Amino acid sequence: MTKRVCVIPGDDAAPEAVLPALGVLKAMELDIEYVELPSGEEGQARHGERWAQVCREAIDSCDTTLFGSTSGKTPALGYLRWQKGTYANLRPVKYIAGAKSPLAHPEGIDFVIVRENMEDMYVGVEGELDVLKPLGLVNRLTRRPIPEEGGRFALKVITEENTRRIAEFACRLALRRKAEGKPGRLTVACKYNMLPQSDGLFRRVASEVAKAYPEVEYEDYIVDDFARRIVASPHDLDVVLLPNLYGDILSDEASALVGGLGVAPSACYSDDFAYFEPVHGTAPDIVGKRIINPTATLLSAAMMLEHLGLREEASALERAVAAVYAEGRVLTPDQGGTATSDEFCAAVRQKLG
């Protein structure tokens, strides 16, 4: 049956990656109908007040969504993430031979960050300190009262239910990877020593869940130590489970090992919906130059094809991207080349035959 994919190019430089990447997908002549939305600016101009609704309706009319990135002009991310409840953000970190890594031996780096996508500091509750006054809170370490004014606070929320759900997701992923010959190791990192209530809960629940998966090897680290380990021994990692904020930060760090944000794909899953987007933002500093690296979008699209049951096609797309890197002739400036985004995608199309 024909699948329907909603394509949302997003804002700033993101459409310069999404549109040529879509050209590659179309050239694959798959049984997919693409529902294409305009860029954020165009959408605002064309649809005005209705723009957010247009996005929602397009998303709901499709099986899945390929999303560029937004700086606010495309009002779709809140719907895709919060309203659709896409609680698991998968961010593969896999070295493609020929990509520009700062490491002497990046070959063989192949792990996946599973970022909890719903809570932690991203519940968006911040405010003036005087709001906390009635609670009479004290600093756990100094035992002094929290100042009543002269600053702001941010709330971090970790729930047992969401942690259990994301830990189950990560364990199932580790099992699947083990079946493919990978280590089947789950690594959890958070600041459980300083934050025994919140991150402590995350670690406790994750380790409890992992006990039900005896085939999965479990380990955990304090997150600052883990930030070092990502750089020092990335080859040891397989599936890495992180609360939302650490996941956001450390996945940017991890991407640097294998070529940077230009090559970092991601997928966000709920139990019955998924959407796909590069890890990077809208790269406003290079807008209009047509040099944004579409690899992250193409690899996100490959994850999308796999989600749609097009496994062979997903592998073919990944192989075509890898072939362009292996050759090293048509790469974008972030990878040390001089090619434009369109030229890079044309090279991928050629490899696809």
Q: Which residues are near ligand ATP by CB under 6 A?
A: 17, 69, 261-262, 280-283, 285-286, 292-293, 296, 334
CB of 13 to ligand ATP, least distance (A): 7
- Beta strands across the sheet bearing 64-67: 32-36, 3-8, 64-67, 274-278, 265-269, 88-94, 110-116, 239-242, 185-190, 217-222
Between residues 283 and 322, which has the closer beta carbon with respect to ligand ATP? Answer: 283
Residue number, 187 or 340, with CB nearest to ligand ATP:
340
The neighbouring-strand residues paired with 220 are: 188
Q: Which is nearer to ligand ATP, 3 or 280 (CB)?
A: 280
| Alpha carbon separation from 116 to 237, 301, 312 (Å, rounded) | 18, 21, 29
Would you list the DSSP string of 61-115? Answer: TSSEEEE---SSSSTTHHIIIIITT--EEEEEEE--TTS--SSS--TT-EEEEEE
Q: How far is the CB of 285 from ligand ATP (least distance, A)?
A: 5
Measured between alpha carbons, how far is 194 from 222 in angstroms, rounded to an integer?
A: 9
d(CA 97, CA 309): 27
CB of 88 to ligand ATP, least distance (A): 18
Q: Which residue is nearest to ligand ATP (CB)?
A: 281
- The residue among 239 and 298 lying less far from ligand ATP, judged by its C-beta, is 298
Q: What 3-state DSSP class applies to 263?
A: helix
- List of residues 6+ apart from 303 with CB closer than 8 A: 90, 92, 265, 266, 267, 276, 314
d(Cα 276, Cα 8) in Å, to the nearest integer? 10
- Smallest gap from Cβ 124 to ligand ATP, in A, equals 15
Which residue, 166 or 264, is less far from ligand ATP as judged by CB? Answer: 264
DSSP per position, 271-291: SS-EEEEESS---GGGTTSS-
Nearer to ligand ATP, 222 or 256 (CB): 256
Least Cβ distance, residue 12 to ligand ATP (angstroms): 8
Nearer Cβ to ligand ATP (69/198): 69
Contact status, residue 295 vs residue 85, Cβ threshold 8 Å? no
In the chain the first and final C-alpha atoms are separated, in Å, by 24
Q: How far is the CB of 140 from ligand ATP (least distance, A)?
A: 31
Residue placing its CB nearer to ligand ATP in the complex, 192 or 276: 276
> Please, what is the minimum distance in Å from the beta carbon of residue 47 to ligand ATP?
23
Report how far residue 314's alpha carbon sits from residue 298's, in angstroms, rounded to the nearest whole number: 10
Least distance (Å) between residue 196 CB and ligand ATP: 30
